[in-house]
Amino acid sequence: MPAPPVIRVCPVTPALRAAVLRLHARPEQDGFVSPPAHTLPDAEQCPGSAPMAILIGDTVIGYYRIERSARSITGRDDDADALGLRSFQLDAAWQGRGLGIRVMDILLADLTQHHPQARRIVLAVNCANAAALALYRCAGFADGGTLYHGGRSGPQHLLWRSLA
């Protein structure tokens, strides 16, 4: 049996930017995640955001952005010790291969290494996005018990996970 492909995450560099912009979700996911063409320019301009690429070898297979403060996601001041995760997506061509949980493990390990001051990570996921909810729960995220109602596609669960 061949070894699983090596997955890594890194900041979106000028050399990776065009490949990130070509990423797209499946049509049924369009209501849940904005394409990088909409979110990457904002992340590049926002001093509190870090746009990140997900790669297998030299091939960009996904994208996400990290917010230095989860307040930008939750609007709550008590989330000062937390990072925020936004725009997580694997390209449609790479979905259905069992990569999601492996990518989440690598993403979380990267955050622990590069953001030792952060105690938690917080994200919002649409209540109707069953696949994403299952992935995040499998990765150890817990439901914070509140809903965020500012999403473009309806209410979202606020999920969190310890980084300790």
Q: In the structure, what pLDDT confidence band is assigned to residue 160 with cuts at 50, 70 and 90?
A: very high
| Structural domain contains residue 1 | no
Number of domains in the chain: 1
Stretch 103-120: mean pLDDT, rounded?
A: 94
Q: What is the pLDDT of residue 30?
A: 81
Expressed as residue numbers, the domain containing 126 is: 7-162
- Does 15 have pLDDT greater than 90? yes
Strand ranges for the chain from DSSP E: 7-11, 49-56, 59-67, 82-90, 120-126, 142-148, 156-162
pLDDT in tens, 44-78: 999 889 999 999 999 999 999 999 876 666 666 66
- CATH code of the domain containing 95: 3.40.630.30
Q: What is the pLDDT of residue 147?
A: 72
Q: In the structure, what pLDDT confidence band is assigned to residue 28 with cuts at 50, 70 and 90?
A: confident
CB 164 within 8 A of CB 113: no
- C-alpha 118/C-alpha 122 separation (Å) is 11
Q: What is the pLDDT of residue 2?
A: 73
| Structural domain contains residue 42 | yes
- Does 127 have pLDDT greater than 80? yes
Stretch 140-150: mean pLDDT, rounded?
A: 79
Strand ranges for 12-164 from DSSP E: 49-56, 59-67, 82-90, 120-126, 142-148, 156-162
Q: What is the pLDDT of residue 32?
A: 86
| Structural domain contains residue 2 | no
pLDDT in tens, 71-103: 666 666 666 678 999 999 999 999 989 899 999
